[in-house]
Amino acid sequence: MIASVRGEVVEVALDHVVIEAVGVGYRVNATPSTLSTLRTGTEARLITAMIVREDSMTLYGFTDTETRDLFLTLLSVSGVGPRLAMATLAVHDAGALRQALHDSDVTALTRVPG
């Protein structure tokens, strides 16, 4: 498992960033709020979760371990895959999501597309 990636940001797109580390470019999917903190040509470090499927290996990047751990927790819920987990984290930061779950705030949770 790749736990984190640090290197030069070579591309920032709508849903991912490419970080070059030791000559290898890693495509890391991330939320808009994470991507907004990254600039091409600068060094960055993202905490990552690697999802391995039969036909792919995909990295998801986060600014901190709390958000990464929440992403992994969301994946343990039946019917929630990486896309829905990322959509949830795009709408709610980690603290707001934990509060919505604690309060059983259905209105907040239904704001997530998908």
pLDDT of residue 105: 83
Residue linked to tokens 């990464």? 68
Q: How far apart are the first and last CA of the chain?
A: 28
pLDDT of residue 54: 95
Residues of the chain with pLDDT under 70: none
pLDDT of residue 108: 80
Contact 54, 47 (CB under 8 A): no
Q: What is the pLDDT of residues 82-95, one digit of tens each?
A: 999 999 999 988 88
Residue linked to tokens 């495509």? 27
Q: Give CA–CA dist 19/95, Å, rounded.
A: 27
Q: Give CA–CA dist 39/87, Å, rounded.
A: 22
Go through the domains of the chain in sequence order and give each one's CATH number: 4-109 (2.40.50.140)
pLDDT of residue 93: 85
